[in-house]
Structure 1
Amino acid sequence: KGVQKQFYAEKGIPTADFTVYAEKYELTEALVRKEWDYPFVWKSCTGGYDGKGVSVIREEEDLIPLPEGACLAEKMIPFKNELAVIVARNVSGEVKTYPVVEMEFHPEANQVEYVICPARIEDHVAEKARAVAKKVSESFEHVGLLAVEMFQTEDDEILVNEVAPRPHNSGHYSIEASFTNQFEQHLRAILDLPLGETESKVGGVMVNLVGDENHEGQVHYQNIGKIMQMPGVTPHIYGKKQTRPFRKMGHVTIVNKDLGEARRIAEEVKKEIKVISRG
């Protein structure tokens, strides 16, 4: 994460203010010098995933349980929405962006709960987000897919949070909702084939299926038959045999011409299906 943030600063890509520290004690000393105001965000420079390696520091005591090693401090951003754009770039340099998606996060696990496409934002904000994502892609000169996660601030500015150079959770909706799903697009890009149409055929909402916080062991998907009876609902199970609290075990996509109805059904799905352990 530290390398990413420094790259954005070098390339003039908008991102939240930050400082990288080689060791935890350097951050502690910076706090003694009052170089940071509470609250701020602590991030481990390596090893982070699915909300791991990220903590909001509200007071000095919050630093105590954090691991040693390289980290960064980042300014807390008052934001309206967390957004993401999947960018495809092939070997010849052709670039296409998918529509902006809106991400709703679980308050405890810091994981994405819902991905909504298209994001419920104004057109000019969506255009700005896609333009920023394209700039990030061209700066990296990557080949394949690049998921660019962003904040929409209260002033409608777009700030890049982080990227993932691969098919991504924020693009899973595309399997059912898009003309070209992200997995086909990735293959087109790396094989230097013409990129496919990125626009959506229909509105889509994705629900992440994660392990129930009170269960660990051999997985059982409770009520999966019930959600399959709901209109426009398609479950995807990842084949992991063992569940544990908040482990990603699959996702469900809901498609509907009415995005509001898709979001309503998604909430029904979330309440109905449970990823638990047997016995």
Structure 2
Amino acid sequence: MYKALPSIGLLGGGQLGRMLLQAAVDLDLQIACLDPDAEASCHQLTPNFQQGSFQDYETVYQFGQKYDVISIEIEHVNIEVLKQLESEGKKVYPQPHILQMIQDKRLQKQFFKDHGFPTADFVLTDNQASLSQHIDFLPAFHKLGKGGYDGKGVQYIADAASVTKGFDAPGLLEKAVDFEKELAVIVARNPQGETAVFPAVEMVFHPEQNLVEFLFSPAEITTTIAKQAEKIAVDLINTLELVGVLAVEMFLTKDGQVLINEIAPRPHNSGHQTIRGNESSQYEQHLRAITGLPLGSTKSFGFSGMLNLLGAEGFTGPAKYEGLADILAIPGVFPFLYGKKITKPFRKMGHITILGDSKGAIIEKANQVKNLIRVIS
């Protein structure tokens, strides 16, 4: 029996929304976007783009009335209005109470601890002054409870002399982990409780910006560690009973422990390469999950990697992609540009997926690509 697919109202219209829209075309799903930026990445890709704040109660409420399913591409949205829409029978995925917990890193960490999920030791802090009570806990990272995003809201506190670098707001002090690798696992779950997990990826972060600079899949880890990381992700999404996609960032310590770092209840930077590297992408999985469709295969086609394409230092203005033609001439190299008209230093302007027959081939191509392309103005 034919059943019409639900219409989707998406809070956020940035690059993650752009890739959700691209995946939606194949399933003929209708997606509307709400974003405060009139020039957001999605603004020309859907006829139902609305400029407006996804944090304003009335704006989100009126937007949500129009669609069958409400979802997000950014966590920092108005939770109270989503709870109201849910109480009125709207399907809101991921669920508002889960978003509320994840929005606050203090609650997020406490959830891991309370439910027996492995994570680094931490203590909750009220303000900058309270850091002085935990000198014996250093070195550690001070994280804002709310508001941190893309590397912002995290400060390394090495010793007593550097406590003034901490945030004067509620946060948590997380023990610095002596890790060997940073991993991520993307997992999906639909309302029927079906789950599908992508292979663990290995991430390399920009030393200054704390953004993922490069990743490759599958991670260079043992089968045992890979299964452990994937099991943690599946157990976590099932414990949360979250509907949609969940990104789980993890540390692999030098003594072989897998610890959860942070989670994101949406498609994530660490899963961009799934568009070309896996049978189903994380974006298709998110759409399948929130519309109640069967989840797709997460099987890898082989080795893949992803480079973030950031605005070059020293350039602010209309974006120009120097070297784009050069990288397009390389087999197995696929750029994804986010449609942002203005570049700024370190602004995410796109990413580049790289396919190859080995980790070495991926790294070799990645280095070649990094030397060829720049976003300038």
Scaled to the shorter chain, the TM-score interval is over 0.9
Deviations 1:99-138 (A, max 9, x none): 0000011111111111101001111110110011111111
Equivalent in 186, 211, 232 of residue 111 of structure 1: 211
1:176 is aligned to 276
- Percent of paired sites with the same residue: 47
Distance 1:177 1:96 in 2: 16
Preserved contact between residue 24 and residue 71 of structure 1 (Cα < 8 Å): no
Q: Give the alignment of 1:42-81 within 5 angstroms.
A: 42-81=142-181
Q: More deviation in 58-67 or 147-156?
A: 58-67
| Other structure's SS at 2:210 match | coil
Structure 2 CA distance for aligned equivalents of residues 239 and 66 of structure 1:
36
Is 2:128 the partner of 1:15? no
Give me the TM-score of the superposition, normalised by structure 1: 0.94
The answer to whether the 8 A contact 2:120-2:259 is kept is: yes
Which of 266, 270, 277 matches 2:366?
Answer: 266
2:205 touches 2:211 (CA, 8 Å); kept in 1?
yes
Residue in structure 2 matched with residue 240 of structure 1 by the alignment:
340
Which residue does the alignment assign to 2:231? 131
Question: TM-score of the superposition, structure 2-length normalised?
Answer: 0.70
- Partner secondary structure for residue 192 of structure 2: coil
How far apart are 1:250 and its partner, in Å? 0.5
1:36 equivalenced with 2:149 (yes/no): no
Whole-Å separation in 1 of the counterparts to 2:295 and 2:205:
31
Q: Check the 8 A contact 1:102/1:119 in 2, yes or no.
A: yes
Q: 1:6 aligns with which of 66, 90, 110?
A: 110
State the Cα distance separating 1:178 from its structure 2 match. 0.5
Shift of 1:61: 4.1
Contact 1:78 1:154 in 2 (8 A): yes
Describe the SS at the equivalent of 1:162.
Answer: strand
2:323 aligns with 223
Partner in structure 1 of residue 41 of structure 2: none
Alignment of 1:256 with 2:360, yes or no, is no
More RCO (CA 8 Å, sep 6+): 1
Structure 2 vs 1, CA of residues 247 and 176 (structure 1 numbering), >3 Å: closer, same or farther? Answer: same
Match of 1:26 in 2: 130
Distance 2:359 2:321 in 1: 26
In the aligned structure 2, how far is the partner of 1:61 from the partner of 1:126?
39
For residues 150-197 of structure 1, what are the alpha-carbon distances to aligned partners after superposition, in whole Å with 9 as ceiling and x for unaligned? 000011110000001111111110111100111111111111111110
Amino acid at match of 2:218: P
After TM superposition, give the deviation of residue 241 of structure 1 in Å.
Answer: 1.3
| Structure 1: runs of 5 or more not aligned | none
8 Å Cα contact 2:128-2:164 kept in structure 1: no
CA displacement, residues 3-29 of structure 1 (integer Å, 9 cap, x when unaligned)? 11011011110000001112222223x
For residue 202 of structure 1, report the CA deviation from its aligned partner. 2.1
User: Match of 1:64, SS?
Assistant: helix
Q: What secondary structure sits across from 2:340 in the alignment?
A: coil
SS in 1 for 2:137: coil
Question: Post-superposition shift, 1:65?
Answer: 4.3
Cα distance, 1:266 vs. partner?
0.9
The farther-off stretch of 51-60 and 226-235 is 51-60
Q: Secondary structure at the match of 1:9?
A: helix
Residue by residue, what CA displacement relative to the aligned partner does 1:59-98 show, whole Å, maximum 9, x if unpaired?
A: 3343334442111101111111000000010010001110
Structure 1 residue aligned with 2:189: 89
Write the letter of the residue equivalent to 2:192: S
Rounded to whole Å, the distance in 1 between the matches of 2:297 and 2:221 is 22
More strand per residue: 1
How far apart are residue 35 of structure 1 and its match? 3.8
What does the per-residue CA deviation read over 1:32-73, in whole Å, with 9 as the maximum and x for residues that have no partner? xx4423x21111111111111112111334333444211110
Distance, in Å, in 1 between the alignment partners of 2:338 and 2:182 is 25
Query: Does 2:246 match 1:142?
Result: no
Point out where structure 2 has 5 or more consecutive residues left out of the alignment.
Answer: 1-104
